[in-house]
Structure 1
């Protein structure tokens, strides 16, 4: 090579290296092309890694392949550094097969070679393959670099391989990588996925902590449903002047506030994020603020944050929509959805779940079917949350068979969808179907599933089924550990008429709450034991539990059906005195109580003097009407009550039947005929009352006025069957008594 060409080669090589150091990758490639055009042959292999790095940075796959081909002819691939740079180039351009072929053809490999392959596979999401190659490199004695090691740790975390995570932790300590903060934080992330106590222990052992370390532990507490500890650690972090929280930290803290529904703490964190400038441009912080305010029942503040957000994404829209639904502002949720469509934002599965909640509230079957069509059209049928919400909405809209069809079409029926279907069937009295679905559940049962099963058993009014469900709760370790399950067991026994067993189950609850006390009071009320209901009410107050609106309704109902007018009125007055605002149901119960006792004038006076926010409903006027039936010559009062009942519930048969009964008692046959005429004119469907009798394992339903069909079975057989069931029930009860004793 002439001196002129040699000097030109040196100048171009220097130009390429200078351009590389300045990050001018196009100049690197153009410099190499200039050498090629000049026809200069050079033996310096260290330029090629720079050129391949430039091609990788520019994602110029075809140019890189051409350079690779020219090197292959001149046997420059034999240099390890050149082979590594080619493999790395292919990896970074996404051509993993070519990278692996280059690696396989290398005559000699060093740690860089193995790091290129392991890092490339892990970086492209091939975690299992990357970890396999990592294990192979370790067997051959090659060491990973820090970047590769961090990716290996994150791969174990992603695969939730905690045992391997502990092994890599040991390797990190042995190999001297533990002092590197990025490696420490990666190990901390593995423990944060498992439990917060191990995470905190490791965090306390760290000599140097950065903002990532603090954020990981705070997030771990929030994920472990320990938001109080997460907020406590955040306060510690803020007090330490060395570590400043970032957007990720604030997002985790806002989530803790949302879990706790602590709106005051949330506002403080909002103020902190404003001072630090986090809330303006960071969409994650903005979305977390919307979620926090929504779950803290301040959806107006949530909407203000949403309205001021310029960098909205799909999560922003779904968060505010879910916020309105969570706060039961369904009409505003629909307005937000309309705004979404005007902004050309296409709904996803999360949006559809919120809309199904709106349909459930308004009990609108047609929109449910429309959303079902959207789910099918967009391929969301594999989304279990969307399908479970659809099942719930269908059952709420009385489309139980459609819900069954959706449930049957699911390839994988998890515990959530099964629980939702069981709940829907139980609500419509189809207890046998609900129990059948429960028996098919293969996943681990949770408390909600068992509660729904108990509801189904209580609907069937079958004591044996309720005892069977109680046994399942005991075997699964959910009885005496979940207050909601224990309360449902008490309620199931009460609805089966086994009030003594209900009381014994109630007494076994280790830590009672106001709900469990309300259920046992209701149990006594349903069973016609008002004295015991009142005694339990007084016992509850002595134990320090403050009655809520439902508790007051239960005890008022007990007084109503037990004819304890004086006690009922005293309890109602104490409710008002204790600053518990009575609702329409409480007033209706008192009106019914007075009407049953023949105090129609007082009941009517109470209706006429209701507070402004309460308007008498059909049940209150129905109670007045029912009281008129037992009082001769009610006259104007009867006609007024009839007019109100029929106006409030024009399509309900019970009002017409009751009015007809009252008019018949007053011998006003013309009015009786008028009621019958109205029923025909308005096409009112008359629903007959029925009773259920358990014969063997079958629950038979008998409509009012229905005659027994002797061809099916003889009456004597039914009586014998009832005696057998009674004996069996006594035996089971005696067995339980012996067990409790």
Structure 2
């Protein structure tokens, strides 16, 4: 019999008092199998200190370390209290919270006819620990043995389906939800809605939302947030406006999502309106809201407003500093970005991998090779696992070296990487090969990329651009033939401009806009004006083997040119024309916008895939390095 002792308040002192050496492999001891497989055990004696209340207290105080829970499990087995289902339930819950799903699963598998709550606990644990396939597998077993799911089962099973992007599995679970009469349960319906949105079935998500008996703040916030997270910022912003019209008052969660949508779309005017609401409702004391405000202003090209906000923030964390550092980098002000990083270190704020991503980007945008290498070495030498270089940092370094003309060094850098390079790393090098017209290396890198991700169109397009710039039209056609054969479709370029509270989107050669006739008239006159001061179309940007007149016609209707013509009509001075482009601006359009800013005396701000370009008086902030 174990000695009688007073139960201490913590598990650590308890085991120290008992001087117990516990079993190295608890799950295989005979006591465990006898207790759980046959449902019998020797109950604890009346004088034993191991009461249910004592174990409950121990489980509550020992939930921070997995090995302590295993020790408690050992004592449960030897004390005879392991048949107490509430204790085993609490033990299982604690193990899943700590992420020890292997031990939790072994414990669960030895239970005698576990109730639905225990099944739910295990499924929840798998989902919380990013083991979604295991979660859906357990759900299938649960259904197979005849355990009835309840309202607490489905939310986590649906989360698992969305995490593995399995629409078919999600639809099957949806059928079960209907079968058990839970399709109008608020929590279950919300998770169904989110599952469909995350896997791209927006119509189904919208239908579930529209047919909810009550659309409360939680439902609105959930869908707005998931639309932002899945690249549907426009839809998220539309829902935000719908929410306001429906009389639902936004909270801090709502405005964070809405500001994020504005940041992604470059909608500064809408973002300003939301910011005014934040101030009016006194939400600007919330750190998460303030960080979202910072991000919105920085990504919408209003970097000075972002800095004023940053300086006034009553509280700042690493996200605040990183957002501002990255914002300066994106806006082409590398000096301020790196200076702010220095201030951050002096303030004692520990940078993380996101901070360094902004720092390396700042170096890359102005070709600071040595400085970038120095910062990268800092990351490697750091003992902080949250600072160690990740694939995106390696891609930044390749981009920095490659765009600066050090293509061989960039290639050797990739070959020496301690981790396997991904498409982002190789893609950065291919982009540099395009800039510097290096056909030989470009062919080699593209072969690697086509093997890694043959479905990504941008890499095929980059190789095609290299060939076209060299006038190798047969090779251009071969690349396009391969794309057609594999079903690879080129990403359609577009440019968006915000005017009078609305976002207007243009594609190349677009004539669908109601003001198209006016837009094309303004554009034609504009081309005449800039031609008179030296503009010559860069026909190498028209990647077709056609006559020169056709190439010039194609160039003249690029999406950013149409957006600028629209902006000249609808955005009055002194406000700048703000353009958001989904791809990298081409050389011809870059020259076009510089000259347009000169002849019209207008400031034009363009955010392309990589950075901001501030055009004024015939010059660009990027100094033609982008």
Q: Is the pair's TM-score, using the shorter chain for normalization, greater than 0.5?
A: yes
- Which has the larger Rg? 1
Q: Classify the secondary structure of the residue corresponding to 1:701.
A: strand
Distance 1:631 1:338, change over 3 A: same
Q: Report deviation, 1:728.
A: 12
Tell me which residue corresponds to 1:593: 400
1:491 paired residue among 295, 302, 313: 295
Q: State whether residues 360 and 397 of structure 2, in contact with CA within 8 Å, keep that contact through their aligned partners in structure 1.
A: yes
Q: Structure 1 residue 263: deviation in Å?
A: 4.8
| TM-score, reference length from structure 2 | 0.71
Q: Does 1:610 align with 2:414?
A: no
Tell me what 1:323 maps to.
Answer: 125
Q: 1:391 to 1:562 in 2, by over 3 A?
A: farther
Aligned-partner Cα distance in 1 for 2:221–2:163: 19
Map of 1:461 onto structure 2: 266
SS at match of 1:638: helix
Q: 1:253 to 1:399 in 2, by over 3 A?
A: farther
Paired residue secondary structure (1:478): coil
Supply the distance in 1 between the matched residues of 2:577 and 2:396 (Cα, whole angstroms). 38
Question: Residues 618 and 645 of structure 1 are in contact (CA less than 8 Å); yes or no, is this contact kept in structure 2?
Answer: yes
Q: Secondary structure at the match of 1:300?
A: helix
Match of 1:474 in 2: 279
In structure 2, distance between residues paired with 1:266 and 1:477: 44
Which residue is equivalent to 1:351?
Answer: 153
Deviates more, 1:619-628 or 1:247-256: 247-256
For residues 212-265 of structure 1, the C-alpha deviation after alignment (integer angstroms, 9 at most, x for no partner) is xxxxxxxxxxxxxxxxxxx899999xx9xxxx896468558756766xx56577
Establish whether residue 581 from structure 1 lines up as the match of residue 364 from structure 2. no
Which of 335, 339, 358 is the equivalent residue of 1:531?
335
Provide the secondary structure at the position in 1 that maps to 2:313. coil
**Equivalent residue for 1:409?**
211
Whether the aligned pair in 1 keeps the contact of 2:439 and 2:467 (CA below 8 Å) is no
What is aligned with 1:300? 102
8 Å CA contact 1:422–1:437 kept in 2: the answer is: no
- The one-character-per-residue Cα deviations of 1:676-716 (angstroms, maximum 9, x if unpaired) are 11122122222222111112122101124546867546246
Change (3 A) 1:638 1:720: closer
Cα distance change on mapping 1:676 and 1:298 into 2, 3 Å: same
CA distance in 1, matches of 2:236, 2:413: 40
Q: Which residue of 1 aligns with 2:477?
A: 673
Write out aligned runs for 1:279-294 (5 A): 280-294=82-96
Q: Cα offset for 1:459?
A: 3.0
Does the 8 Å contact 2:10/2:61 carry over to 1?
A: no
In the alignment, what sits opposite 1:362?
164
Normalized against structure 1, the TM-score is what? Answer: 0.60
Cα distance 1:388–1:250, how it changes in 2: closer, same or farther (>3 A)?
A: farther
Equivalent runs, 1:83-482 vs 2, <5 Å: 247=52, 254=59, 263=66, 278=81, 280-310=82-112, 312-426=114-228, 427-429=231-233, 430-439=235-244, 445-480=250-285, 482=286
1:431·1:459 contact (CA, 8 Å) conserved in 2? no
Distance 1:558 1:283 in 2: 58
Secondary structure, in 3 states, of the residue corresponding to 1:350?
coil
Q: Hey, what's the Cα distance between the residues in 2 that align with 1:506 and 1:276?
A: 59
Structure 1 pair 463–713 and aligned structure 2 pair: CA distance change class (3 A): farther
- 1:570 corresponding residue in structure 2: 374
1:397 CA drift (Å):
0.7
CA distance in 2 between counterparts of 1:455 and 1:247 reads: 50
d(CA) in 1 for partners of 2:51 and 2:184?
Answer: 36
- Answering whether residue 355 of structure 2 is matched by residue 548 of structure 1, we say no
Residue 27 of structure 1 corresponds to: none
Indicate if the aligned counterparts of 1:483 and 1:511 stay in contact, CA closer than 8 A.
Answer: yes
Q: List alignment gaps of at least 5 residues for structure 1.
A: 1-230, 730-741
CA contact (8 A) 2:244 2:250 kept: no
Q: Do the aligned partners of 2:225 and 2:236 also contact (CA within 8 Å) in 1?
A: no
Q: Secondary structure at the match of 1:349?
A: coil
Distance 2:216 2:53 in 1: 32
How many Å separate the matches in 1 of 2:76 and 2:282?
44
Contact kept? 1:556, 1:568, Cα under 8 Å: yes
Higher-RCO chain (CA-CA 8 Å, sequence separation at least 6): 2
Tell me: CA distance 1:545–1:661, structure 2 relative to 1, closer, same or farther (3 Å): same
Distance, in Å, in 2 between the alignment partners of 1:467 and 1:270 is 56
Pairing partner for 1:645 from 445, 449, 454: 449
* 1-structure distance, mates of 2:435, 2:255: 45
Contact 2:133 2:164 in 1 (8 A): no
Q: Retained in 1: the 8 A contact 2:437–2:466?
A: no
CA distance in 2, matches of 1:275, 1:483: 50
Indicate how the Cα distance of structure 1 residues 419 and 232 shifts in structure 2: closer, same or farther if over 3 A, else same: farther
Q: CA deviation at 1:270?
A: 5.6
Deviation at 1:486, TM superposition (A): 1.5
| 1:719 matches 2:568 | yes
Question: Counterpart in 2 of 1:85?
Answer: none
